[in-house]
Chain A
Amino acid sequence: AQSVTQLDSHVSVSEGTPVLLRCNYSSSYSPSLFWYVQHPNKGLQLLLKYTSAATLVKGINGFEAEFKKSETSFHLTKPSAHMSDAAEYFCVVSGPPGGGNKLTFGTGTQLKVEL
């Protein structure tokens, strides 16, 4: 079975400082990994995805993530936080092959950006 653990439920940063949202995963196969963002009372928007190509993945809005197989991690980073980045972020792992393209979601990290 696959699983994903988001190590922090809340992260608070100052505007202009770096962002680090941590994610570890577990799977018995080579997974695809995703980060999604959700603003209050909205649907989820894809930030970036890893699908076994380059291990450093660049996404929208200046976010990037690095796939580290040896550490089973897929942490999300951004060099400089903006107020508009305040939202909830979900790390997601793909389901097993042949399982219908299902995804398993982490419990989310709430990012707060302060002036």
Chain B
Amino acid sequence: DGGITQSPKYLFRKEGQNVTLSCEQNLNHDAMYWYRQDPGQGLRLIYYSQIVNDFQKGDIAEGYSVSREKKESFPLTVTSAQKNPTAFYLCASSIGEGTSFYEQYFGPGTRLTVT
């Protein structure tokens, strides 16, 4: 089955620790995205990558870092510099940008709780 996997589903960390969220896709998509979801705020873009070894900051990149060493993988690290890391994190992928906009496909999400 083609799709996007995120692991783990639930993650608990102590304040001051870095944590890495996994995102893998087997859809052969070029572009991948990380979003943060908070109640009542919709989804906000953290980072995105249109091609391997390249990525751009989204609207709320501070306190986060990413890498894109393989087409299938786009891990997100939540660093200790992120002031309010507790949230639901969603990874997505799409064909990329062409003559029209392509829909994004979403993974099941990781709920991160930092105490």
- Interface on A for B, CB 8 Å cutoff? 9, 31-32, 34, 36, 41-46, 49, 51-52, 90, 94-95, 97-103, 105-108
Q: Give the secondary structure class of A's interface.
A: loop
Q: Which residues of A contact B45 (CB under 8 A)?
A: 102-103
Q: Within residues 37 to 74 of chain B, which ones have a CB less than 8 A from any CB in chain A?
A: 40-45, 48, 50, 56, 58
- Interface on B for A, CB 8 Å cutoff? 4, 31, 33, 40-45, 48, 50, 56, 58, 88, 90, 92, 94, 96-97, 100-109, 111
- Asked if B109 and A52 make an inter-chain contact with CB atoms under 8 angstroms apart, the answer reads no
- Asked if A100 and B50 make an inter-chain contact with CB atoms under 8 angstroms apart, the answer reads yes
Q: Which residues of A contact B88 (CB under 8 A)?
A: 41
Residue of chain A at shortest CB distance from B9: A41
- Asked if A44 and B40 make an inter-chain contact with CB atoms under 8 angstroms apart, the answer reads no
- Asked if B104 and A103 make an inter-chain contact with CB atoms under 8 angstroms apart, the answer reads yes
Q: Which residues of A contact B104 (CB under 8 A)?
A: 101, 103
